[in-house]
Every structure is written in structure tokens, then in C-alpha cells.
């Protein structure tokens, strides 16, 4: 019987513990030989404690270890450990999306120079095998666009908020029956779908890193995550409100025509991909219907390519178990390659390019803002829209929801197709209007 290939683990948190449990029986042709953790002296089961190394450096330098699994979740430390492991000739499997996205050119170039494999299926989509599809199948075609629900935490939160609204649509006390974002987040945290500090998820950063990684593969160029336009579902100046979901689903308003999701989007134009992350309205019919139907912690992505047309992939996107399967698939693929004298899959070079101008992207949707029902306030909003050449399709005031001592109510202004830059100027002007608060734009997703 062949000797199992030794792996070293950097990190033994929720995901690391699941990975260890998966590989501990050696039946997969690999064995965990060494583990590094932030505090080597912290309590741990005996099966883990006997494998704890004094530091990450000890794991990386272990001559018996051939594959390093990097699970720190820290961009700077992750970069350091990945590069050190590669320099030692180790193959690397990582779930560290922030490190890989930010330092993509450096990490992938080092792996190619050393002739080692770099596995990163777990960085995007949990258990959804989108990296493999993009890297080895669709890469043979010409990707024109993709749009994905890539954060299971946000999708779970929006699913719960929507369910509560649907359950009480005809209740005259609907505002009291609705579920605020804060409470939905607490539910996600109790179930382990959200981190104790959920900032990276709810402000869209997690999705942004994933978009960058997929765009690197799809377009063959380095897409710096720091340059990707990003909005989340909850930020300092805007957040999803129960009234938004009421407006979307009540029959007298939009009647459930759209699903509200946090999406990561890439669209190629003249060789430059325009990348963005933001909440979006997805029509429940048409080519994006499958994406609109993704609920709970599921992730989904629609990919449009020149010859393949439209592809849809769906999978569980949050939690240790689906992430572990993605890690395990990379480890086993590399281990099989080692056993036959190969080096495993490599990442092709990417060129330095310029991202497309998001401001020039044509968009349509609904601008929401809160204001008291006083004379002249809507006229001022319409003046701003006209000044920036944004045409109005309709205006709706949702009177079932009233907030604050001044009785502010949400209104939704439907706008016709217009450049993204014009909408941002309108939002900036709305924020300066006295009595107007939390303006937010809900884009209708179109590829």
C-alpha cells in the first residue's frame, strides 16, 4: 500500500477542524502530519494536540510535508506563508480569498517558477466548483460576462428578511411584523453562517475578493480588488430595509417580479472588464431566473461566453462542510498528480490591464430615499434627476412604513436606462437635501 502523502495545515478553526476530520483516517491517500495555530498551547483534542507545531514556519519547513493547506484568513500572513511554502517547493491549497486576490500576480508567478501546484477552489463559492469550471473549461472560450451570488451569509440574511415580509404582506401592522437586517444577521451568527465580525460579508468585501479571483481567470488579467466598485447590504450610509422587500413583493407595488440579492458582476467591453459588487434586483423570469431562485446559503453564478452561451452553476456557499469539500478536491487532485510524478495544475500568467469604466455602464432601476411628507421635497428630488439627465419612469411612496419622529417614509423612483455615473451624482445630491436620508440605488441586473 502506498505511503500517504503528508500535508501540513496552517490554521485549525471551524474550517480547519472540518478539514482535519476529513483527512484524519488516511483513507484518501493523504495524512495530516503537522498543524500550526495562532496559540499552540490552546486547548485541543488529543488527536490534534499531538500534531501541533511550534509555529507555521516549522510546518512549512518540515521535509516530510508535500502539501500545505493555508487557512489563516489573514491577507498579509496568508501571503507570507503561501510564498514561503512555494519557495520550499511545497504545493499549496488555500481558502484565503483576500490574500490570493490582493497578491495574485506575485503568488501565481512564484508557483509557476517553482513548478508547484496552487489550489484555490475554496476561495470562491464554498462547495460550488466554479473555479475549476472557469479555470479549465470556460477559459477555453471567450468570457463575455458573469454575475454571481457569492456570499452565503448575505443571501441567508436576505432570504430571512424576504420570508418575514411575505408572511405578513397583508398585515396592517406590517412594519412591526417585518424582520430588520440586524435580527436576520443575529440568526445567521447563531447558526454559524456569519462570523462574529460580519463586516467583510455585509459590506461586500468578501464578494469583491471572489469577483477579482474569477475575473483573473475569466479575462486573463490581474484585477486588483482595491479598484473594484463595491457596495454591501449594510454600510454606514445605506442598508437594506424591510420596506424595500415590501415594495418588491406586495401586489400593489412590484408584486414579486424581482429577487433582491447581493451580486458580483463582470462585463467585458473592448477588452476591459468592468467589475462591481452591489445589491441588485434579479428578474424571476428570463435568462437570470436560476440566479434569482438561489436562496438560503446557496451561491449561484451565471457565466456568458461566446461559444458556450449561458451557463449556470449553483452550490452551498457557507459553512465548513462545503468549503472542506473544495479544499479536499484540490488536495486529492494534487496528491494524485504527485503519485504519478506530476506537479498538479498550474495557473496561467495574467497580464496587467485596465479595468473598464463603471461610470459608463448603462443601468436602470429604483432610487430609494426616506423623507417626511412635506411640500416641495419631491419636486427637489425631481429637479436633481432632471439636472443630471436621468429620466423618471414612475414614483411610488410606500406609506405602510414610517420611520423616526419626523415621519419619514420611503419613496422609490424608477429611472430609465442611464449611465451609472449619473446615478451616483444624483445619490450624492440627495444626501445633501435637508430631511432626506439613506438614498440607495437598486439596479436591475442585466447581462
DSSP-derived 3-state class of residue 428? helix
- Residue pair 443/278 in contact by the 8 Å Cβ criterion: yes
Place of cell 431566473: 289
Beta strands in 50-90 (DSSP E): 65-70
- The single-letter DSSP state of residue 286 is S
CA nearest neighbour of 436 among 367, 364, 366: 367
Considering 208, 210, 261, 381, which one is annotated as catalytic?
210
d(CA 150, CA 252): 31
Which DSSP string do the residues of 85-101 spell out, in sequence order?
Answer: HHHTT-EEEE--HHHHH
Q: Angle at CA 38, nearest 5°, toward 34 and 40?
A: 60
Enumerate residues 6+ apart whose C-beta is below 8 A from 153.
188, 193, 194, 195, 198, 201, 202, 206, 297, 318
d(CA 372, CA 370): 7
41 carries an active-site annotation: no
* Burial (0-12, 13-18, 19+ Cβ within 10 Å), 271: exposed
3-state SS string for 170-232: CCCCHHHHCCCHHHHHHHHHHCCCCCCCCHHHHCCHHHHHHHHHHHHHHHCEECCHHHCEECC
Active-site positions?
A: 210
Amino acid at each position: 500500500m502506498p505511503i500517504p502523502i503528508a500535508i501540513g495545515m496552517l490554521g485549525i478553526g471551524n474550517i480547519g477542524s472540518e478539514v482535519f476530520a476529513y483527512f484524519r483516517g488516511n483513507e484518501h491517500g493523504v495524512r495530516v502530519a503537522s498543524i500550526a495555530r495562532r496559540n499552540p498551547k490552546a486547548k485541543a483534542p488529543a488527536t490534534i494536540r499531538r500534531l501541533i507545531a511550534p509555529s507555521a514556519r516549522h510546518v512549512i519547513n518540515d521535509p516530510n510535508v508535500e502539501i500545505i493547506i493555508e487557512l489563516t484568513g489573514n491577507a498579509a500572513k496568508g501571503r507570507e506563508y503561501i510564498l514561503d511554502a512555494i519557495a520550499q517547493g511545497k504545493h499549496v491549497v488555500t481558502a484565503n480569498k483576500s490574500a490570493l486576490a490582493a497578491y495574485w500576480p506575485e503568488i501565481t508567478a512564484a508557483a509557476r517558477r517553482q513548478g508547484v501546484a496552487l489550489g484555490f477552489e475554496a476561495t470562491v463559492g464554498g462547495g460550488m466548483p466554479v473555479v475549476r469550471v472557469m479555470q479549465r473549461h470556460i477559459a477555453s472560450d471567450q468570457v463575455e460576462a458573469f454575475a454571481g451570488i457569492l456570499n452565503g451569509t448575505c443571501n441567508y440574511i436576505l432570504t430571512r428578511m424576504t420570508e418575514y415580509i411575505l408572511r405578513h404582506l397583508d398585515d396592517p401592522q406590517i412594519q412591526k411584523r417585518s424582520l430588520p437586517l440586524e435580527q436576520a444577521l443575529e440568526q445567521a451568527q447563531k447558526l454559524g453562517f456569519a462570523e462574529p465580525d460580519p463586516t467583510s460579508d455585509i459590506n461586500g468585501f468578501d464578494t469583491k475578493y471572489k469577483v477579482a479571483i474569477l475575473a483573473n481567470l475569466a479575462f486573463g488579467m490581474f484585477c486588483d480588488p482595491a479598484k473594484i466598485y463595491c457596495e454591501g447590504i449594510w454600510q454606514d450610509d445605506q442598508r437594506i430595509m424591510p420596506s424595500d422587500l415590501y415594495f418588491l413583493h406586495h401586489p400593489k407595488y412590484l408584486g414579486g417580479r424581482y429577487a433582491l440579492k447581493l451580486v458580483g458582476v463582470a462585463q467585458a467591453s473592448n477588452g476591459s472588464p468592468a467589475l462591481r459588487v452591489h445589491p441588485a434586483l434579479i428578474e424571476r423570469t428570463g435568462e437570470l431566473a436560476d440566479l434569482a431562485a438561489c436562496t438560503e446559503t446557496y451561491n449561484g453564478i451565471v457565466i456568458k461566453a461566446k461559444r458556450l452561451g449561458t451557463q449556470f452553476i449553483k452550490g452551498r456557499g457557507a459553512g465548513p462542510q462545503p468549503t472542506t469539500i473544495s479544499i479536499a478536491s484540490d488536495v486529492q487532485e494534487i496528491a494524485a498528480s504527485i503519485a504519478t510524478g506530476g506537479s498538479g495544475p498550474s495557473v496561467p500568467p495574467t497580464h496587467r490591464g485596465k479595468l473598464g469604466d463603471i461610470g459608463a455602464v448603462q443601468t436602470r432601476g429604483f432610487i430609494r430615499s426616506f423623507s417626511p411628507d412635506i411640500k416641495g421635497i419631491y419636486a427637489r428630488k425631481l429637479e436633481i434627476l432632471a439636472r443630471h439627465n436621468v429620466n423618471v419612469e414612475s414614483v411610488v411612496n410606500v406609506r405602510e412604513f414610517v420611520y423616526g419622529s419626523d415621519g419619514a417614509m420611503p419613496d422609490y423612483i424608477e429611472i430609465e436606462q442611464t449611465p451609472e455615473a449619473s446615478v451616483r451624482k444624483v445619490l450624492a445630491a440627495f444626501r445633501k437635501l435637508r430631511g432626506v436620508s439613506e438614498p440607495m440605488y437598486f439596479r436591475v441586473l442585466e447581462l
